[in-house]
Chains A and B, each alone.
Chain A
Amino acid sequence: MIRSTHLPLLITLATFVLAYALCASAYPAMLSLRVVANLLTDNAFLGIAAVGMTFVILSGGIDLSIGSVIAFTGVFLAVILRETSMHPLAAFALVLLLTTAFGTAMGATIHYLEMPPFIVTLAGMFLARGAAYVLSTESVPITHEFYDTLQGLYWKVDGARFRLIGGLMVLTFIVGALVAHRTRFGQNVYALGGGEQAAKLMGVPVARTTIGIYAVSGGLAGLSGIVFSLYTSAGYSLATVGVELDAIAAVVIGGTLLTGGYGFVAGTFFGILIMGLIQTYIVFDGTLSSWWTKIVIGSLLFAFILLQKGLTWAAKKRAAQARMRTATGSAALS
């Protein structure tokens, strides 16, 4: 059964199908599995970060630190692997711990100091970017046989290579969707987005949930950083500037309401694919400037924001009509 709250998700899905159909009609080669595999690989780091962003936005918050945390993670890994003999797996664990702690600290600041998430994560953005610069201002290449092993892992279907990082993104989305819709933590995230005061009165552990949300976002930004370092085989402090904005765009195009409370993790997945598709189209075309990606994404975002406004407005109007009906009904009875 289709419910009104599912409508934005369905529209995202329809947009994706339509966009793919348009692309395929212009360039039939875009229907190939190789394109699909590349879509997953190229957008893996953004997708993973966007899962975290989905939780943050569902709760009515925002996390601007993501891009910087990804860059920091990359530089940190590159420097650690160059300077020490630490195994990459241990380094991964260490950096995940660091970024999760960073997110936890931001969440705690937001909750206990009652600061707006925008400001706190803006500070986090500068802090993480600064920390990356302190580690190294140069791009540091990563050369380690374990990296080669990981990069060499793929599942080959008809000449298309589905790489490890693409799979990791899909897995993150599946786990993210399960956590959002099937756990108490996920329900509490929606509850916070629906109204903090009511959530508190209903016994939602607001402190634990808020801190948890930013910890998840920080941790996933760390994971995204690991994936990005596997993707580029380097750590560079100037990389992934503005990725948080791409993630926000993917979340909104995925049908999540920016004010929180409504949305789906699966929607974000299709938001990522739509954005990736636009980029792929421009690559196929070859004559268009890559900046057209931004223009199309901008227009899409605008369209989706208008759509959200329209849906909210329609819902309000329906509620008002329902009230009128009960009012006239009782008037007729008396």
Chain B
Amino acid sequence: MTDTHTPDAPVLHARGISKFFPGTIALDDVELRLMPGEVHALLGENGAGKSTLIKCLTGAYRRDAGTLLMDGQEIHPVSTADSQRLGIGTVYQEVNLLPNLTVAENLFLGRQPMRGGFIARRRMNEEARAVLAGYGLRIDPAEPLTAYSVAIQQVIAIARAVEMSGKVLILDEPTASLDHDEVQLLFDVIRQVKARGLAVVFITHFLDQVFAISDRATVLRNGRVVGECLLAEMTQRDVVTMMLGRQLEARTKARDVGPAGKTLVEIDDLGKRGMMAPFSLNIREGEVVGLAGLLGSGRTETANLIFGVEPADQGRIALRGQDISIKNPRDAVAHRFALCPEDRKIDGIVGDLSVRDNIILALQARQGWMRPIPRAKVEEIARSYVRALDIRLASLDMPIRLLSGGNQQKALLARWLATNPAFLILDEPTRGIDVGAHAEIITLIEQLRADGMALLVASSELEELVAYSTRVVVLRDRQQVRELTGDQITPDNIINAIATEEVA
């Protein structure tokens, strides 16, 4: 295979790829060169355009501009099946195989060996066994797919993609739900595929894994290519800097650390196996603790564990020195905790309910449905928060989905503020909202802190964390790696903490 290519000729060359969505430019003149026999990491924070680029390559989206050259020939894939035929195979985080078929049936679906018009089952099983053995899997291909672990299913999906396509293999977050040993198994397979001369595109949020397996990387930010680099010449710190786009100027904020209140929440070794390593955290009244880390580092998981969205299987939480048990969000609300979730469209707003009902939802839920809040009181609460947070709307009766992102976010904040929480957790409070609303929410956070509330804020915006946090906890690979206080809180230090190699 490899001898048909000179080392410098890319197998797949995407040039000047642009993709527009109403109101946004998802990809702007993006170039991607994939060499045979290399693992190419595609990096970027959420919304950088990675998945849009992949969808343009696999034909799931039609590109609006640019050319796609496969071995020098221009190609126009119109569907995933089409791009498979052209030689581009894709494996997704969620295994896209069929749980009701056997391993061999999955491997050969659509191209089964035939004899006399019928599928030659025995031969299919034998061939499947041989193919999988080539990937180091010695399993019975006549067993149903679900008899095997996700990692093995992932390898089967890779085997199918490689056997069918054989030029480019795109792995979209294949390791997201695998544990350490399973990742190693997958890496062995990736190395074999690479040795066969395929170009492998590897997408992940785990930087350690990028450096462990990849040869080169293309970094995207805001739909543009920031750079293409040989990873051997880079450090994790360089890559993080490229991804986040911060110039590492020393910038500290003159902060007035308010009088440290009493310890409100004490978290001791709280964790859940397979989700989050045990962590401890004390939060005092009048304090904002920032949670920093790349996507997938455990920010949301931390928030969910504390709030009982995911019940923890170890550790304890104490409120004002008293042990409390939080098994679900109801318990958390009862202890005057509040959580504004990351994805407000899915976890937060109830799109078709009015703004008023959305604001009153949590308070009413805590009261219980047996004791409805009087209409006049509802009106008063809703009005006061709309005024206080400057939520812009035509009327309180309009469905909340019609509001802009920033106003939705403020309405969600209002929902939880109405319950008068002692401890407020905000997960990405400024994701996807415009600059003006952004500044208002930051001001609001500082105001709440000054009023003596305890806040835990998870964010990927470093500047923002630096602006309002009294302490910053840095997470990495679902573990707490550092805690920064006072003058240590700078974007520079946070990036360093994120990128530092783990000292084993």
Question: B-contacting residues of A (Cβ < 8 Å)?
Answer: 3-5, 178, 181-184, 187-188, 190-191, 193-195, 197-204, 261-262, 315, 319, 322-323, 326-327, 329-331, 333-334
Contacts and interface: CB of A to CB of B under 8 A. Distances in A.
B437 interface: no
Interface in B161-182: 164, 179-182
B118 A203 contact: no
Interface in B109-136: 109-110, 112, 114, 117-119, 121
B146 A198 contact: no
Interface of B: 80-81, 84, 96-101, 105-106, 109-110, 112, 114, 117-119, 121, 142-144, 146, 149-151, 160, 164, 179-182, 273-274
17 contacts: A3-B142, A3-B143, A3-B144, A4-B144, A183-B117, A184-B110, A184-B112, A187-B109, A187-B112, A194-B98, A197-B96, A198-B98, A203-B164, A315-B146, A319-B146, A322-B149, A330-B179
A327 B98 contact: no
B179 A327 contact: yes
A198 B97 contact: yes
A261 B100 contact: yes
A187 B181 contact: no
Contacts of A188: 109-110
Contacts of B117: 183
Given A190-B98, A203-B110, A326-B181, 15 more contacts: A178-B118, A181-B119, A187-B112, A195-B98, A198-B97, A198-B98, A201-B80, A202-B98, A203-B164, A261-B98, A262-B100, A326-B151, A326-B182, A327-B179, A330-B180
Contacts of B180: 330, 333-334
Contacts of B273: 327, 331
A326 B105 contact: no
Contacts of A326: 149, 151, 179, 181-182
A3 B112 CA distance: 22
Contacts of B151: 326
B110 A202 contact: yes
Contact of B96 (A4, A5, A201): A201
Contacts of A181: 119
Contacts of A198: 96-98
B122 to A, nearest CB: 11
A326 B114 CA distance: 37
Contacts of B106: 202
A104 to B, nearest CB: 22
Nearest to A331: B273
Contact of A191 (B98, B142, B143, B274): B98
Contacts of A199: 98
Nearest to A202: B109
B121 A182 contact: yes
A334 B184 CA distance: 13
Given A184-B112, A191-B98, A191-B101, A327 B274 contact: yes
Contacts of B105: 187, 190
Given A202-B97, A326-B182, A327-B273, A187 B119 contact: yes
B144 A5 contact: yes
**Shortest 8 CB-CB distances between A and B: which pairs?**
A194-B98, A261-B100, A194-B100, A182-B118, A203-B81, A330-B181, A330-B179, A198-B96
A333 B181 contact: yes
A190 B101 contact: yes
Nearest to B116: A182
A316 to B, nearest CB: 9
B118 A190 contact: no
A108 B142 CA distance: 34
Contacts of A330: 179-182
Contacts of A331: 273
A127 to B, nearest CB: 33
Contacts of B144: 3-5
A153 B96 CA distance: 52
A203 B149 CA distance: 24
Contacts of A323: 149-150
A331 B181 CA distance: 10
The interface centre, meaning the residue of A5, A193, A261, A315 with most chain B CB atoms within 10 A of its CB, is A5
B449 to A, nearest CB: 39
Contact of B109 (A4, A183, A204, A327): A204
A323 B84 CA distance: 31
A329 B185 CA distance: 14
A294 to B, nearest CB: 31
Given A3-B144, A326-B149, A330-B179, A195 B121 contact: no
B110 A204 contact: yes
Nearest to A325: B149
The interface centre, meaning the residue of B142, B179, B180 with most chain A CB atoms within 10 A of its CB, is B179
Nearest to B114: A184
B99 A194 contact: yes
